[in-house]
Structure 1
Amino acid sequence: MWAQCRYILLVVTALVLGGCQAVNVLSKASHKISRPVNIDGYCSQTDEAGYRDQIKISVKNNTVQALDWTASPKQGTCRFQLNDFTQIATRPTADLQSKTDRRCHVLVWQDRDHITVAANGCQSSCPASDQLLPVLLDSQTGGCKPR
């Protein structure tokens, strides 16, 4: 009986460790380092639910040089302007931190064929921030890319 319990425990341990190893390999394979962002972009879009975005952004080698983003979900309007932020990182993403609320960040990064601009933790400056959607910009044209 004891031998069977040890065998079962050994098998379960091997499965758990093997599963962790598989998850580790998958997460490493799926994690991609973002490429440097270089864009002069403008996008104005409204989706079928009435959500509106208008953004003008200029980024050179992950350094944000201009940003004026107005997002209008159903519950209000949020505006993010470069003057209200300090860039605290350029790698792996451009990270802008609000000068008045250190929890509020605007992040910019590039994936395969689009550039993403997203806000995070901005509840104090934007009551509708939990409804904000990231803006996707075409990396070639700088225009809107469908979500």
Structure 2
Amino acid sequence: MIPAPRLARRALVALAAGLAACSSPLPPPAPPPEPVATPTPAPTPAPPVLRELPAAPLAKTPPAPPAPRAGRPTRAMKARPITLAMRCAAMDERKHTVQADVDVRRGTVRYLRARLAEPKGSCEFALPDFDQTKTLPSIELRARNGSGCVLRMWEQGPQVVLAYHGCEAYCEPGQAFAGMLPVLFDRRVGRCD
């Protein structure tokens, strides 16, 4: 038989062992599930700010000087990327006006805003409304709104021509488009006609 003090001691040791087993550390909790990442849409770039156009001229713009005559027969121009940076305004004898701001570098249109007006109405074109679809042999810009409007730019001697086709949607009223002539940017004198 075990004496009482020893029995009490064994009971205390067993009790302490039982308590130690109960207080053993619990396994670490599972990490919380990671939140499901929803794809964030790419930020849409803000539309470019349109600059103010040059003021409309109040009087007829004098004609540009004639191009120098070549002593030999003219040949077709080589197709090369257009570079043009010009802000201009002009009026012809019929009171048709053009106000334009153009920046083209090596065939890429970086900025374009043009306002054409005649006594019966006006048309306005801005680069944010168009996508460039061609660089050579001429620059081509097609309307994003599906209207079929096409702007084209090409070199013609010392001038760069801006012409348009099917752009009634950009005119107020639409019938004014029928009277609009192409814009000629003359790089020799830095102006448009």
Q: TM-score, normalised by structure 1?
A: 0.72
Structure 1 position 143 matched with structure 2 position 191: yes
In the alignment, is the contact (CA less than 8 A) between 2:140 and 2:153 conserved in 1?
Answer: yes
Q: Which has the higher contact order (CA 8 A, sep 6+)?
A: 1
Percentage of pairs with the same residue: 29
2:110 alignment partner, one of 53, 56, 65: 65
Task: State the shift of 1:139 in Å.
Answer: 2.5
1:106 maps onto 2:151 in alignment: yes
Contact 1:89–1:96 under 8 Å retained in 2: yes
Q: Which runs of 5+ in 2 are unaligned?
A: 1-73
Rg comparison, structure with higher value: 2
Structure (1/2) with the larger helix percentage = 1
2:178 to 126, 130, 133: 130
Alignment of 1:1-147 (within 5 A): 34-126=79-171, 127=174, 128-144=176-192, 146=193
Helix, strand or coil: the match of 2:137? coil
Normalized against structure 2, the TM-score is what?
Answer: 0.55
Structure richer in strand, relative to its length: 1
Find the counterpart in structure 2 of residue 6 from structure 1.
none
Matched positions, count: 117
Aligned-residue CA RMSD (Å) = 2.0
Structure 1 moving runs of 4+ over 4 Å? 29-34
